[in-house]
Amino acid sequence: MSKQYYQALIELLDQSYAPYSGFNVASIIECENGEVFKGVNVESAAYPTTICAERNAIHNAVTHGIKKGEVQAVYILARNDKGQLIRAFPCGSCRQVIAEQSSNNATVYCYDEHGEVAEHSISELLPHAFLGDEL
Ligand code: THU
């Protein structure tokens, strides 16, 4: 089941725009209603304005009507500057956005070069998340 997006992620890596780091990242997310959204990292010559694949996938979902709490699963694959597929875990900023948009319930699947997944709940990856309920 969890291996189902591996091939799609390999193809999606080619859409990544990462001329500065050479590190391509692709992400696919699944939502409660079965909808699937894609994202890649998009770098910028003004480095800090770079955006990660996971957040692009989630922002894409939100743009298409997905509501807070409806993100269920996040799949990730990366490719380094030598062209090798490699496992990447979401950065801190992406963990925040995944936690918030899944109401702390998403499962994160990080593929390695063999298509094997490391599976973690977002609450494991970001304990004591700040979900905005206090605001
Ligand atoms: N990157 C992601 O897209 N997702 C992650 O979880 C880790 C980092 C991107 C950002 C930047 O374009 C490149 O990888 C190197 O940091």
Least confident of 84-88, 113-117, 130-134: 130-134
Query: Could you state, in order of their start, the residue ranges of all structural domains in the chain?
Result: 6-125
The minimum-distance atom of ligand 1 relative to the CA of 25 is: 3
- Contacts of residues 33-41 at CB distance under 8 Å and 24 or more positions apart, as own/partner, are 33/66, 33/70, 35/61, 35/64, 35/66, 37/61, 37/64, 37/66, 38/8, 38/12, 40/12, 40/13, 40/15, 40/16, 41/16, 41/17
pLDDT above 70: percentage of residues in the chain: 99
- Active-site hit among 54, 70, 113, 124: 54
Q: For residue range 35-62, list pLDDT tens digits in order.
A: 999 999 999 999 999 999 999 999 999 9
54 in catalytic set: yes
pTM score, two decimals?
A: 0.97
User: What lines the ligand 1 site, CB under 6 Å?
Assistant: 18, 21, 23, 25, 41, 43, 50, 52-54, 88, 90-91, 94
pLDDT of residue 2: 65
Could you confirm whether domain 6-125 is CATH 2.40.50.100?
A: no
Q: Which of 25, 44, 97 to mutate to test the pocket of ligand 1 (most atoms within 8 A of CB)?
A: 25
